[in-house]
Amino acid sequence: AQSVTQLDSQVPVFEEAPVELRCNYSSSVSVYLFWYVQYPNQGLQLLLKYLSGSTLVESINGFEAEFNKSQTSFHLRKPSVHISDTAEYFCAVSSSRGSRLTFGEGTQLTVNP
Amino acid sequence: EPEVTQTPSHQVTQMGQEVILRCVPISNHLYFYWYRQILGQKVEFLVSFYNNEISEKSEIFDDQFSVERPDGSNFTLKIRSTKLEDSAMYFCASRPRGGLSYEQYFGPGTRLTVT
């Protein structure tokens, strides 16, 4: 069985500040890790993923996440956030490519001016 | 850019009634999924569907639920005899066969309220 824990339900930050959204997982097999973002009244959009290879993965809008196998973590970071980054962020894990996703509880990121 | 669509956006039904939630996956996708999120809880996997049959289902997906791809474009989730605890946001997702990312593309969700 696999599970995901997002330690922070809400993260308020000021614009241009750095942010880290934490995600820890447990799994008895190899994992594939994902971060999804949900803007108000929209579906879940894939932000970035780790499937294999480099443990540091990046998105096109400045987010990055690092897969840390020893700490079973996949924390999401951005060095300088914008108002438009305000959304709910979900960490998810899959035990094989294309199979079911197991989600964390979600973290509401609110960027204030 | 193609996207997954879901109808209706909000469905209100009385306990014991049947509901059908509809999804139109991206046209060249072959794998389909349903997830749900009860208010304040995690997004949970319900079922996956490929080649006109269920490929995986969770313990939540009991005999009350069924899925169908009736016409080659729609993908539906039927809930027979709804219960109060079925109130949730239901998300449909789809993905193409193979590819490098195995990304699942999600729809905006249908909010089901059972009264």
Per-residue pLDDT tens for B50-100?
A: 989 999 999 999 999 999 998 878 999 999 999 999 999 999 999 987 766
pLDDT in tens, chain A (113 residues): 789 999 999 999 999 999 999 999 998 777 889 999 998 878 889 999 998 888 899 898 899 999 999 999 999 999 999 999 999 999 999 887 668 999 999 999 999 99
Question: Which domains are seen in chain B, by residue range?
Answer: 5-98+105-114 (2.60.40.10)
- CB of B62 closer than 8 Å to CB of B47: no
Per-residue pLDDT tens for B15-42?
A: 999 999 999 999 989 899 999 999 888 8
Per-residue pLDDT tens for B36-59?
A: 999 888 899 999 999 899 999 999
pLDDT of residue B101: 63
Residues 6 or more apart in contact with residue B83 via CB below 8 angstroms: B15, B64, B114
Looking at chain A from residue 29 to 88, which residues have their Cβ under 8 Å from any Cβ of chain B?
32, 36, 41-46, 49, 51
Nearest chain B residue (CA) to A108: B40
Give A17→chain B minimum CA distance, Å.
27
pLDDT of residue A14: 97
- Substitution target from B3, B44, B101 for chain A, most A beta carbons within 10 A: B101
Q: Where are the alpha helices (DSSP H) in B3-72?
A: none
DSSP structure string for A62-83: S-EEEEETTTTEEEEEESS--G
Question: Which domains are seen in chain A, by residue range?
Answer: 3-112 (2.60.40.10)
Nearest chain B residue (CA) to A35: B103
